[in-house]
Structure 1
Amino acid sequence: MSGEAVEASSSQAVKAQLRLREMILAGELAGGARIAEVAVSELLGVSRTPVRSALMRLEQEGLLEGLPNGGYAVRTFSERDVADAIELRGTLEGLSARLAAERGAPPVVLREARACLRRIDELLRDPALDDAAFSRYVAFNEEFHRLLSEMSGSALIAKQMERVINLPFASPSGFVVVQANSPAARDMLLIAQDQHGQVLDAIENREGSRAEALMREHSRIAQRNLREALHGAQSHPLPGVQLIRRRA
């Protein structure tokens, strides 16, 4: 498979993930509802290969559970479950950032994180993101958060983080997005990107408390975005790890 074909398939998988998360959040796919590859493929108008990838990732994120006879079912969880999961991730990421600042983050990991943010900066130079660009943003965002976890040098925290991001909507890449191609969405991502840069600055300057506070605030913005999506707020949500939008 050529590089362009691989990228196209990845973009389709991300689109499928976004749409399925949105449907779950909106209650269009009720708790316990069975989901099969063929049905999702027909519903979303994409092939089964990216759908299979999307379903596997949503299972890893805790939104779906595999069924013994094949297929998946929507997990049952409450708004409080989601809020607690995001709060827990923010707590762990804050702790990881503080320890990285206090202990001194490995220079090679800091360089990789800076390079990751530069790639995001390049994407955000355009006035709006198309589907392929947003797919790359999701991947770069996930990579940045992985590197942030690695900076603390704590295998214990990294292990707990792996468990936490499998909770509903707790993954840094657990986007539920509408109007991702709009200039407004791109502007919100710019502010989220600025937060990422501030966290790295705090870690490099050995400002542990500031680094921790920034990551905790990062998760609290995600909490607010999710509440606005759940309760149908008409105003644009504030930027954060989760950018929530409604489809037209």
Structure 2
Amino acid sequence: MIQTPDTGRANNSDEAVADAIREMIAGNAFGVGERITESELSRKLGASRTPIRMALKLLHAEGLLTKLDGRGYSARTFSAEAQAQATEVRGVLEGLAAQRLAHHGLSALNRERLNKSVEATGAIIGRGTLDNEAIEAFTVANLIFHRTIMQGSDNPFIEDCLRRLKVMPDSGVGEVLGSNRVSWSLNRIIVSHSQHVIIKTAIETGDGTRAFNMMREHSSAPAEYHELF
């Protein structure tokens, strides 16, 4: 059953289904050339066929799926060069979102969300150990941090573009660390938390340039983290 990230409530909307399929593509849930069908996705996602059909058409139009002869689609594969290009674009987009939020100012709700996110990741580091419970807690706090900034940017085109990049492996620390596509380490969480603190401070003080640069670095770092940790 598809659930909304913040509430956990079931969501069968076309957009929610498309996001769920994007996550499956990003997580290599489909083999090369594997036929993706409405019936199979309906079973896996617990969603009705109509929103799945619309989501597949949307992802095909975006170039993320290839139409196969007969019924069904296959997931598009991306080269290492394409992945690097996506990482570059994602860094700029997330940096722009942070910059806009710094210039516009935080609402009381967004300030509270960022504060709680940073407090949660700080508490995880304070434990000194990394287990499944800590990973789950970080996943939630990390996604809240990134989505708060993205949605608070007051530019829906940023969110639309970032959604398309979700299928690219290692295209951004916000999504990568919030998934099972990396090997977890406490050092990665420490670095991510430290960058969150810097980004939050820059936004709170209205320093758009600092917010842009730090968020761009933060979103472009997974490949380097892989080498370091």
Secondary structure at the residue paired with 2:126? coil
Superposition pairs of residues 64-143 of structure 1, within 5 angstroms: 65=65, 73-126=74-127, 127-130=129-132, 132-143=133-144
Match of 1:246 in 2: none
Residue 70 of structure 1, CA deviation: 7.8
Superposition pairs of residues 208-247 of structure 1, within 5 angstroms: 208-225=208-225, 236-237=228-229
1:177 pairs with 2:182: yes
Residue 152 of structure 1, CA deviation: 2.0
CA contact (8 A) 1:129 1:186 kept: no
- Map Cα deviations across residues 17-61 of structure 1 (whole Å, 9 max, x no partner): 89x83798xxxx54x24579xxxxxxxxxxx86899xxx9xxx8x
CA distance, structure 2, for counterparts of residue 186 and residue 50 of structure 1: 31
Change (3 A) 1:74 1:49: closer
Secondary structure at the residue paired with 1:177? coil
Match of 1:189 in 2: 189
Match of 1:200 in 2: 200
Secondary structure at the residue paired with 2:130? coil
Match of 1:232 in 2: none
Match of 2:18 in 1: none
Q: Which runs of 5+ in 1 are unaligned?
A: 1-6, 8-16, 37-47, 229-234, 238-248
CA distance, structure 1, for counterparts of residue 167 and residue 75 of structure 2: 13
Change (3 A) 1:161 1:22: closer
Give aligned-pair identity as a percent.
Answer: 25
**Matched residue type, 1:149:** M
CA distance, structure 1, for counterparts of residue 136 and residue 71 of structure 2: 28
- Map Cα deviations across residues 145-170 of structure 1 (whole Å, 9 max, x no partner): 0001122222333333333x334123
Query: Cα RMSD (Å) of the superposition?
Result: 3.9
**Matched residue type, 2:102:** A
**Matched residue type, 2:195:** Q
CA contact (8 A) 2:120 2:137 kept: no
CA contact (8 A) 1:64 1:72 kept: no
Residue 188 of structure 1, CA deviation: 2.0
Match of 2:166 in 1: 166
Change (3 A) 1:129 1:72: farther
CA distance, structure 1, for counterparts of residue 120 and residue 106 of structure 2: 21
CA contact (8 A) 1:102 1:208 kept: yes
**Matched residue type, 1:79:** A
Change (3 A) 1:145 1:85: same
CA contact (8 A) 2:113 2:144 kept: no
CA distance, structure 1, for counterparts of residue 140 and residue 71 of structure 2: 28
Match of 1:3 in 2: none
Residue 221 of structure 1, CA deviation: 1.4
Give the alignment's TM-score, normalised by structure 1. 0.61
Q: Which runs of 5+ in 2 are unaligned?
A: 1-7, 9-22, 38-42, 53-58
CA distance, structure 2, for counterparts of residue 217 and residue 197 of structure 1: 14
**Matched residue type, 1:194:** S
Residue 78 of structure 1, CA deviation: 0.5
How many residue pairs get matched? 191
